[in-house]
Every structure is written in structure tokens, then in C-alpha cells.
């Protein structure tokens, strides 16, 4: 398959995941529409293009890890897991109900989810631990030498929110990742410019996230995170970087794909029948 075909296929799939996530949201009557839609494109590229994983073996030790640090916009992941075959369409209907495998923040009890989320600022630390573990082998070299000399057993991807980067532990983890030169770790920041109660820079002015990751020693790229050409190219670039972790600052549009909510703070919205109808129409193939 050439790249044009691939991107076209991924674009169609991303649309499908947005539609699927709407039905998941409908189950609760509320949904993290903004974040699910802003991240849907790179989530699609990870699940259906870049990551090495096997839905039949969710616990395969050598699988690439996807650590969803912004654990709230779970609907798009559940749609992706169902599409990939980790869970069933029936599972999606149980979302948010007591006893379900699909909790209202991503949760380890769901096959295909590697780390429970919901408490922000933790995922990158977890990803650093997993990425470090991917280099540890029985015989002795120090860790930095190991990263230079060995193949990592798997890659680790971590999806962060931009508001989440307010959390101090994100930067503890960022420092640690560079210190051990974890080149098997890629962080993707869903930079949709809104956090729970307002615009990102106005709630807390963090200046440039890209400059921050650079200052922490990460190989950093800023891209249009809703452009699958760029997403695919950048994910391909990340695996070629040696000796440094990679940060992808994905500039995205909150609510991308549903024009009437795009670029508004549609963080956690009521899913009315009317909204569902209009959004599905906007996302029709």
C-alpha cells in the first residue's frame, strides 16, 4: 500500500472512531467529546498503523505499550479497541455502568489498556518505567550503555493532555527519560488548547511546551495533529531517533470533526439526541 492509500484508509478509520466514540458517550449521556475528537487521528495512526500489538494477545509481553495519561477522553480508545478486536460491540454498550470493563476513565480491566488513568500527570512516569524495563536484561551493563548497545524489547507511546502538563510529575518523568536516554519512548501531547475549565494559556501560562521538552533533552517536533500525513511521517521519524526520547507536540482542534463545537471548550458535554444526530451527520462517510 502506498502512503496516499494508507492515509486515506486511516482518515476513514478516524472518522469511524469518532462516530463510534459518540455512541460510547451516548451510553452515559455525557462525554469527553472535545478530547476524544482532537486525539482521534493520532490514536488511529497508533492503533492501526504504527504500534506492534495483537488484539488476540492483549498481555503479550513484547507488545508496544500505549500509556494513556489523559485518561478521561476514553471514548475514542474504547472505539479503537472495539475496532481492533480487543473488546466487542456488546462491551461498548456497558460503558460507564457498574461492573463494566469500560470505566469512565481508561482502566486496566479493559483488554488493551496498559495503565489505568484519570489521575493526571502519572502516565509519563509509568511510560518511563516501562521503557526502562524494555532495556533491562539479565546481564550487566549500566542502563545508559544498555540503551546504546541493545535493542529495546518494545516501544512505549504515551499520550498526554496539554492541560495535564501543568502537573509537576510530568517534568520529573521528562528529566528521567532523557537521563536514561530512553529512545524507545515517544510522548504525544494532544495540544488542543483547552483544559477542563478554560483555555490552556489562560488557566496557566506554560509558555511553549515544545521548548520545554527540548530543554529537557527530548527530540521534539510540532505538527498538525489532525493531519494524518504529518502524523504518519512523524511517527515514522520517531522510531529512527537514537539516544533520546521523542516528544510530538500535536497541535489539534478540540472537537475536531464536529464543526459546531470545534475550537470551543467542549471538554465534557451532554450528549443529547439532537447533538448525536448532527455530529453523526457531520461525520458521515
Partner 1 sequence: MKSRYLRPMRDVAENMYSAHNRTLIELARRNEKIVSCYADFPPGEVGEVFSKEFPDRIIDVGIAEGHLITCAAGLADAGLIPFTHCHALFSLGRGYNQIRQNVAYDQRNVKIVLCNAGVIWGGIGPSHLALEDIAALRVVPKLVILSPADAVSSEKATLAAADYVGPVILRLPAIGANYPTLYTPDLKFEIGKAICVHEGNDVTILATGILVHDALVVAERLVKDGIRARVLDIHTIKPLDEKAILAAARETGAIVTVEDASILGGLGGAVAEVTSEKCPVVIRRVGVQDQFGESGTSEEIKECYGLTAPFIKKAVQESLRVKRSKAAPTKPSARRGKKR
Buried b (16+ CB within 10 A) or exposed e, 4-25: eebbeebeebbbbbbbbbbbbb
Q: Does 160 bind partner 1 (CB under 8 A)?
A: no
CA–CA dist 223, 273 (Å, integer): 34
Of 55, 58, 111, 118, the residue at the interface with partner 1 (CB under 8 A) is: 118
CA 114 – CA 126 distance, rounded (Å): 10
Considering only the C-alpha atoms of the chain, give the largest distance between any 2 of them, rounded to a whole number of Å: 61
Dist CA 101 CA 77 (whole Å): 13
Segment contacting partner 1 by CB under 8 A, of 31-39, 80-88, 118-126, 192-200: 118-126
- Region 176-215 residues binding partner 1, contact defined as CB under 8 A: 176, 179
Q: How many residues bind partner 1 (CB under 8 A)?
A: 38
Binding mask 42-61 toward partner 1 (x if CB under 8 A, else -) reads -------------------x
Residue 140 contacts partner 1 per CB under 8 A: yes
147, 243 in Cβ contact below 8 A? Answer: yes
Pick the piece of the chain touching partner 1 (CB under 8 A) from 47-55, 173-181, 220-228, 250-258. Answer: 173-181
Closest distance to partner 1 from the beta carbon of 138 (Å) = 4
Near partner 1 by CB under 8 A, which window of 9-17, 137-145, 207-215, 252-260? 137-145
d(CA 110, CA 22): 19
Find cell 495533529 and name the residue: 225
Rule CB under 8 A: choose which of 12, 89, 175, 204 binds partner 1. 175
Q: How far apart (Å, rounded) are the C-alpha atoms in residues 206 and 201? A: 7
92 with 86: CB under 8 angstroms?
no
Q: Between 1 and 98, name the residue whose CB sits nearer to partner 1.
A: 98
Q: Is 130 within 8 Å of 65 (Cβ atoms)?
A: yes
Stretch touching partner 1 by CB under 8 A, among 81-89, 122-130, 189-197, 206-214:
122-130
As a whole number of angstroms, the distance between CA 14 and CA 10 comes to 6
Which residues would be at the binding site for partner 1 (CB under 8 A)?
Answer: 61, 65, 67, 108, 114-116, 118-119, 122, 125-143, 145-146, 153, 169, 172-173, 175-176, 179
Amino acid at each position: 500500500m502506498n502512503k496516499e492509500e494508507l492515509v486515506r484508509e486511516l482518515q476513514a478509520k478516524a472518522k469511524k472512531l469518532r462516530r463510534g466514540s459518540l455512541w460510547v458517550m451516548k451510553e452515559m449521556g455525557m462525554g469527553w467529546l472535545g478530547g476524544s475528537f482532537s486525539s482521534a487521528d493520532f490514536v488511529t495512526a497508533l492503533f492501526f498503523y504504527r504500534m506492534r500489538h495483537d488484539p488476540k494477545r492483549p498481555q503479550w509481553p513484547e507488545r508496544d505499550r500505549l500509556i494513556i495519561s489523559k485518561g478521561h477522553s476514553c471514548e475514542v480508545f474504547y472505539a479503537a479497541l472495539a475496532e481492533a478486536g480487543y473488546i466487542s460491540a456488546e462491551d461498548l454498550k456497558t460503558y460507564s455502568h457498574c461492573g463494566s470493563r469500560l470505566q469512565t476513565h481508561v482502566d486496566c480491566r479493559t483488554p488493551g489498556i496498559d495503565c489505568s488513568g484519570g489521575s493526571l500527570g502519572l502516565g509519563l512516569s509509568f511510560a518511563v518505567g516501562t521503557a526502562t524495563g524494555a532495556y533491562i536484561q539479565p546481564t550487566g551493563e549500566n542502563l545508559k550503555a544498555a540503551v546504546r548497545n541493545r535493542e529495546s524489547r518494545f516501544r512505549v507511546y504515551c499520550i498526554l493532555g496539554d492541560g495535564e502538563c501543568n502537573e509537576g510529575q510530568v517534568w520529573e518523568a521528562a528529566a528521567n527519560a532523557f537521563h536514561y536516554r530512553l529512545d524507545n519512548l515517544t510522548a504525544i501531547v494532544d495540544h488542543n488548547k483547552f483544559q477542563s475549565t478554560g483555555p490552556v494559556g489562560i488557566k496557566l501560562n506554560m509558555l511553549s511546551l515544545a521548548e520545554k521538552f527540548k530543554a529537557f533533552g527530548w527530540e521534539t517536533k510540532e505538527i498538525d495533529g489532525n493531519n494524518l500525513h504529518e502524523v504518519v511521517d512523524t511517527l515514522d521519524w520517531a522510531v529512527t531517533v537514537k539516544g533520546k526520547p521523542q516528544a510530538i507536540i500535536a497541535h489539534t482542534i478540540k472537537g475536531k470533526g464536529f464543526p459546531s463545537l470545534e475550537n470551543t471548550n467542549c471538554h465534557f458535554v451532554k450528549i443529547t439526541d439532537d447533538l448525536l444526530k448532527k455530529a453523526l451527520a457531520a461525520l458521515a462517510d
